[in-house]
Structure 1
Amino acid sequence: MRAYDVERENEKISLRVMLTQGGTGFTLFINNESPETIELIRLWIIDITNNFHYNYSIPEEKKVLNPWSETFLSSFELKGFIGLTRRNYYVMRLVTSRGNIVETPPFIAVPGPVTEPPWLSLGYIEACFNKAETPVYDLSDSHLKTTPYKGGKAYISFKNIGSVTVFLTYESTIVFRSIGGLEPKCYAGYLVEWYCYVWDPKVEKWMLKDSGTITHVKDSKAIYPGEVVILGFEEPSEIPGSGAGIREGTYDVFFAASGYDEFGKIFFASIYIGTCEIP
């Protein structure tokens, strides 16, 4: 193993967040728990609630972190810092010059020390978009075909790769965020249905096993560990459920999930699906 790889593997950083200014600012305490000198490159702040992310350069005087030492980074020191939105959920990611990424647990923007909320489930984080086990390999406009998305209802294939059973609620949305232009536009659609298919080798077709709707008062089926479901969303619009429909253009597409696990712990999270071209 090369010296660089050894140094990269040796890097170990712990993070602790203190929120200030009524929850809109922060102080990030950074502890080097390794024998390596670590160079800090960028700080990413992910707004889970609104599905946005911001990244900032580390000030020169805070870039180098000596072995077994601690420093802190204040939001006042970040050039162009956009304040946190009170009561939104966030994650912070710190990137080092050796390519390591350290992440805080999800937290809510309220004043005081940040700890991982005991009611927050990490079950959803262990999920992915399925590529082979249902007729919908990626983003589609049909729950039974691999038709590329061109508008209308949207469907994705979702796999629970964790060890916890999860349930999704109506507040889960698919989000299209335009790429390019002076002011990015966002369109979203609520989660309204789910489907389970099985492959029948006798007829060489996907056969519908079960399906259901999702409403304000009715959640998804239990999605068990290892299970795959197709999720259907209403047609995206400027305001979910109403407003102007999605226009032609190129979009980054995200799944913003809201739900809870088998223990009753809730989650708010988002996963990037990919880029989509609307003709």
Structure 2
Amino acid sequence: MEQLETLFDRIFLTQQPSADRFSVYRFYQLLDQEPINTLEVLFFNYHWRQEKINYSVMKGFFLRHSPHIYHALTKFAVPLERNYLYACLEKDFFSKQVSFLATLRNLIKDTLKCITDNTTVNSKDAARTLRNMKHTDNIALQVKENLRIPFDSITVLDDVETFANGAEVLADLSQMRCAYFSPAAVVSFPPTDENIGATPFLSRHLQQLLTPKKKEQICQVLKSIIENHPLPDLVKQALALYMTLMGDDIPWQKHPFILRLYYNSYWHWKVQQIRDKATEGVKT
């Protein structure tokens, strides 16, 4: 372990980590020979317990050297995911250890995404590991949100994207009306078939409207649908939709479901306005 830490000192505690090429090359060799042990010493002993290295420095190194180290990260991710999931199932979300594991997972995700975005690298292992990590995120989210699901959710969690495809139509359910945006919110930017979801102006407007309180309101309605709606297929869609909203793949202001909810909010107000005028006309 002392030899490893000496090696890490030469790599990370210099102003230019790439300067000592021999040390970096030795690090590559150790990752090939003993990936899990090498990364455990780096992450848990060197970084976490001894606090010898700044996270941003380590992340920068990993991103720059991702083609050489991503294979080791895919192997290290296996026990890491198991430990993280176990901690989540214990509902220990706010402990220091779980917070650290979540930070490590983000580091690995960012590094592997560099690989999957690189068309010159064969990234099947990286892509598979990212899918597995997404699956873990979904299970952890379900536990954290304490969703009472009336069926085995694994089928949905295994393939969220498929079940979420077309789920924006759930914005048309009558239950969603209590989460509509207010008339004052939608009248300043009337949506049309041409601009719905197509302009950065609407995205910026939605970003202002989607306060934490508004997001919580939308999530509570979806949770109610998940836990109480009688149609299993619709519940599965709602669960997948909930996962995509709580994940980090699509910003809320660009999410098809949120765009449709905004669209419905506007036309609900517009129709109500027409009805009110018609009622006033009858009275006069």
Query: Normalising TM by the smaller chain, what interval?
Result: under 0.3
Q: What TM-score comes out, normalization by structure 1 length? A: 0.27
User: What TM-score does the superposition give when structure 2 sets the normalisation length?
Assistant: 0.27
Greater strand share, 1 or 2? 1
